[in-house]
């Protein structure tokens, strides 16, 4: 029995849902998202509540039950509120700035790192050492944040690099010296 799949999803005001055999279209004030639907999974809408049920107990159907519910719930939240991730640059001289549709980062390399902003995600630089990635699709926001972080991951000795706001970097002790 899927605990996640059985939870009902409350629809906020301003969100419209179109349920088809192979896709679920969610449109809200921030935008429109399409979530896949799989065979054996039934999504029903009653009185402003979405329910996700499965037709049988096959292994693949059970696996898709919670997945479909999570995807639909994330798309509902994304189309109404949106998602965002905050990245922090830690290191001497590490800076970021926005030039048009490009994110230009100075990360201690011999050249600046330039990252082009995708069309479906917004990148903001509220401070020179902070980057905010936001959008309506949770997966795309996480993917873009991971791509930016991959330019300079935090190292364990001085914790220099790009890290998520809520990430803790495990520090290692350096050399103990000559004895």
Q: Is residue 71 part of a domain?
A: yes
Structure tokens at 144: 């873009």
Same structural domain for residues 40 and 65?
Answer: yes
Q: Is the pLDDT of residue 26 over 80?
A: yes
Q: Is residue 171 part of a domain?
A: no
Within 13 Å, how many C-alpha atoms sit on residue 117's CB side?
Answer: 21
Q: Residue 124 is part of a domain; what is its CATH number?
A: 3.90.930.12
What local confidence, expressed as pLDDT, does residue 1 receive? 59
| Sheet of strand 16-19: strand arrangement | 16-19, 23-27, 32-36
- pLDDT tens for residues 118-137? 999 999 999 999 999 999 99
pLDDT-derived band at 21, boundaries 50, 70, 90: confident
Same structural domain for residues 125 and 70?
Answer: no
Q: Is residue 169 part of a domain?
A: no
- pLDDT tens for residues 46-103? 998 999 999 999 998 988 999 999 999 999 999 999 999 999 999 999 999 999 999 9
Q: Is residue 172 part of a domain?
A: no
Domain of residue 54 covers 9-80
pLDDT-derived band at 175, boundaries 50, 70, 90: confident
Same structural domain for residues 154 and 104?
Answer: yes
Same structural domain for residues 51 and 15?
Answer: yes
CA distances from residue 102 to 52, 60, 70 in whole angstroms, order as listed: 41, 42, 32
Last-in-domain residue among 29, 54, 80: 80
Q: How many domains does the structure of the chain reveal? A: 2
What local confidence, expressed as pLDDT, does residue 177 receive? 64
Same structural domain for residues 155 and 88?
Answer: yes
């Amino acid at each position: 029995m899927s605990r996640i799949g059985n939870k009902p999803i409350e629809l906020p005001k301003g969100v419209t849902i179109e349920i088809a055999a192979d896709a679920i279209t969610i449109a809200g004030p921030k935008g429109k998202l399409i979530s896949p639907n799989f065979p054996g999974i039934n999504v029903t809408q009653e009185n402003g509540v979405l329910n996700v049920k499965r037709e049988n107990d096959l292994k693949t159907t059970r696996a898709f039950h919670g997945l479909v519910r999570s995807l639909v719930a994330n798309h509902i939240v994304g189309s109404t509120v949106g998602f965002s991730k905050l990245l922090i640059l830690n290191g001497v001289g590490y800076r970021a700035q926005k030039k048009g549709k490009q994110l230009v980062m100075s990360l201690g390399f011999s050249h600046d790192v330039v990252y082009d902003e995708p069309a479906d995600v917004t990148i903001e630089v509220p401070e020179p050492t902070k980057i905010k990635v936001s959008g309506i699709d949770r997966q795309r926001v996480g993917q873009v944040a991971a791509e930016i972080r991959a330019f300079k991951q935090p190292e364990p000795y001085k914790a220099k690099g790009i890290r998520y706001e809520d990430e803790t970097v495990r520090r290692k002790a350096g050399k103990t010296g000559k004895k």
